[in-house]
Structure 1
Amino acid sequence: MDLQISVFLLFILFTAGHSLSCYECTGLKGSCAGQTVKTCPSGSSQCQSLTMVMQFGNISRKVKMKDCAPACDSGSTNLGTSKSTTSCCDTDLCNVQDAPDHPSTLPNGKKCFSCDGQSCSTVSCSGTEDRCATATAIYGDQSLLLKGCISKSLCDAAVTAFNNFNLGSISCCEGNLCNGDQSNGAQSVSQSFLFLCCSLLSYFLLH
C-alpha cells in the first residue's frame, strides 16, 4: 500500500510540473519550414495550427501559423476570397503537421453571403462550417465588411477576439443565407488592407 501511495504521489508531482511544448512559427509566405519548439506558458493547454489562403484577383497569398493556446477550437472559415483552417491538439509537439489548406471540398448543403469589402456574392459552405458570419473590421478610420461561412467553434472564438481587442464586431447565424447581402456602411478598401486585416484576424484567432 505504501508503494502504491508513493507511486501515485510521484505521478501527481510529475504531471503538475510538466509544461506543454508546441511548435511555433509565423509563415507569412506560406511555409512553416523554420518552425521552432516552444515551452508553453502557464495556462496554455493546447497546441494550435492555422492555415489561411487568400485570393484577390490574380494575387494569391498563404499564411501559416503555429503556437500554444489557452483554448483552441478546430474548424474552418470561407469568406470567398479567403479560407482558413484551424487544427487543435493537446499533447507535446502534436501540431507538427500544418493545418490543411482546405478542410473539406464537399459542400454540406449550407450557403452564405460572402463580401470582401467591395462586392457580395454567395458561397457554398463545407465541412463543419455550420454558421453564416457577418463581421465589420475597424482599422483606423476605415471599416471593412466581411461575410461568409464559419464553424460555430471559430465564431465563438472570433467574437471573443473582436471584443477583447476592439477590432469591430462579428455575429453568426444558423439559417441558409441568413447573413443578408447588404454591404452598406463598409468602405471600399485596397488589397493591402485586406491582407492586413486577414493577417490580424489569423493572429487573434491563435491567441
Structure 2
Amino acid sequence: MRLNIFTVVLFALFATGNSLKCYRCTGIMGPCVKEEMTCSTRETVCTSQTTVQSTGDLTQTMLVKGCTEPNICVNGSVNLGITRTALTTQCCDSDLCNSQDVSDSSSKKSNGKQCYYCDQDSCFNRVSCAGTEDHCIKATANAVSMSITSKGCASKSMCDVLSQVVKVYADVSCCQGNLCNSAKSITQNLLHLLTWPFISYIMFH
C-alpha cells in the first residue's frame, strides 16, 4: 500500500511539474494586463490572439492570451453581412511564450464569392466574401419552439473550429460554391453566437 501511495504522489508531482505555463489576459480596445496561469493537461499550447469585429463604420479589437488546445489555433474570419469577425492567432508550446501581441493579418479584399446572410427580416440577403472566406456558413439552433439561424461567409479554418466549439449551442454547416447556404426566410438570427467576445470566450474557457 505504501508503494502504491508513493507511486501516485510521484505521478502527481511529475504531472504538475510538466504542466505548461502561459500568460492570460483579455483586453478590449487596448492592451491587457498579463498574469501567469497553469494550463490543464489537454491544453498543450499558449496562444496570443487578436480579434477584430467590424460593424458598419465601427471597428472593435480584442486581445486575448491564454492556454488552449492545438486545434483551436485558427486564423480566419466570419462575415455575417451585418458584422464581420476576424481572428489572427499565434500558438507556441513553451512556458510563457505568448508574451507578444499579434497584429491583425486579415484581408478585407473581395474574393469574388457570395453567400446568403440573415437580418431580422430575411435570409435572402447576399454578402460578398473577402480574404480567405472560401465557404458559406449556416448555423441553426432551436429556442422556445423557434428555429434561429445565421448565415454568411467563412474561412474553412473557422468552419472547422466553429463546428466543434459551437455544437453545444447550434448546428453549424459549411459548403463551397456561391450562395450554397440556401435562402430560407426567417424572423430572427444567431448573430450573437458567431461574434466576439462569444468566439473567444468559448475557445479559452
TM exceeding 0.5: yes
- Structure 2 residue 145 is the aligned partner of structure 1 residue 146: no
SS in 2 for 1:123: strand
What secondary structure sits across from 1:43 in the alignment?
coil
Q: Is 1:130 aligned to 2:134, yes or no?
A: yes
Query: Residue 106 of structure 2 corresponds to which residue in structure 1?
Result: 103
Alignment CA distance shift 1:47-1:139 (3 Å):
farther
* Secondary structure, aligned partner of 2:166: helix
Closer, same or farther in 2 for the Cα pair 1:78/1:195, shift >3 Å?
closer
The 1:41–1:84 alpha-carbon spacing in structure 2 relative to 1, beyond 3 Å, is same
1:73-130, CA deviations, whole angstroms, 9 ceiling, x for partnerless residues?
Answer: 3221232312221414223334334344352244444333333555633122313x33
Aligned residue in 2 for 1:82: 84
CA displacement 1:136-195 (0-9 Å, x = unmatched): 3567777653222222232222112222x3x1221111222212343x234269xxx849
C-alpha separation in 2, matches of 1:118 and 1:97: 43
2:164 alignment partner, SS class: helix
User: Are residues 175 and 188 of structure 1, via their aligned partners in 2, closer, same or farther at CA, if it must alter by over 3 Å?
Assistant: closer
1:205 — aligned with what?
A: 203
Q: Supply the distance in 1 between the matched residues of 2:104 and 2:32 (Cα, whole angstroms).
A: 16
Match in the other structure for 1:70: 69
| SS of residue paired to 1:157 | helix
Is the CA contact 2:26–2:32 (under 8 Å) kept in the aligned structure 1? no
> Compared with structure 1, are the counterparts of its residues 188 and 171 closer, same or farther at alpha carbon in structure 2 (3 Å cutoff)?
closer
1:51 matched residue in structure 2: 50
Deviation at 1:59, TM superposition (A): 5.0
Asked if the contact 1:106/1:126 (under 8 Å) is kept, the reply is yes
Matches within 5 A, 1:108-187: 108-117=111-120, 120-127=125-132, 129-136=133-140, 144-163=148-167, 165=168, 167-182=169-184, 184-187=185-188
Q: Deviations over 1:35-66 (max 9, x none)?
A: 22322121211222333333445654333322
Distance 1:206 1:107, change over 3 A: farther
Structure 1 stretches lacking a partner, 5+ long: 1-13
Q: CA deviation at 1:69?
A: 0.6
Q: Which amino acid aligns with 1:44?
A: E
RMSD between superposed Cα atoms in Å: 3.5
Report if the CA contact (8 A) 1:137-1:168 is conserved: yes
Q: Quick check: 1:75–1:85 contact (8 Å CA) kept in 2?
A: yes
TM-score under structure 1 length normalisation: 0.70
SS for the counterpart of 1:61 is strand
TM-score by length of 2: 0.70
- Identity rate, percent: 34
The 2-side partners of 1:198 and 1:176 are apart by 26
> One-letter code of the match for 1:123?
S
Amino acid aligned to 1:185: I
Q: Which residue of 2 aligns with 1:9?
A: none
